Amino acid sequence: MNTLVLKFKNKADKSSTLRIPNVKDGMTKEEADTLMNLILTNNIFYTDDLELASAESSEINSVTELI
């Protein structure tokens, strides 16, 4: 299972992390960056002064299930 981890800075200069489970295999850094920009541009996660202000990083964590 792949989990996309997106890290942002909010207007209070604190880090916020968004984890999206079950992303497709082969997701690229460019696709993750595009998603981060869409989230910021459309102000999807807005809560008062904690509004997201900038993208910090993105990564995909893979977990292999053992049988």
- Show the domain range for 27: 2-62
Residue 31 lies in a domain: yes
Residue 67 lies in a domain: no
Residue 34 lies in a domain: yes
Residue pair 48/33 in contact (Cβ under 8 Å)? The answer is no
Total domains in the chain come to 1
Residue 15 lies in a domain: yes
pTM score, two decimals? Answer: 0.82
Asked whether the predicted pLDDT for residue 66 surpasses 80, the reply is no
Q: pLDDT, tens digit, for every residue of 1-60? A: 899 999 999 888 889 899 999 999 889 999 999 999 999 999 887 766 678 999 999 999
Residue 58 lies in a domain: yes
Q: pLDDT, tens digit, for every residue of 22-32? A: 999 889 999 99
Asked whether the predicted pLDDT for residue 63 surpasses 80, the reply is no
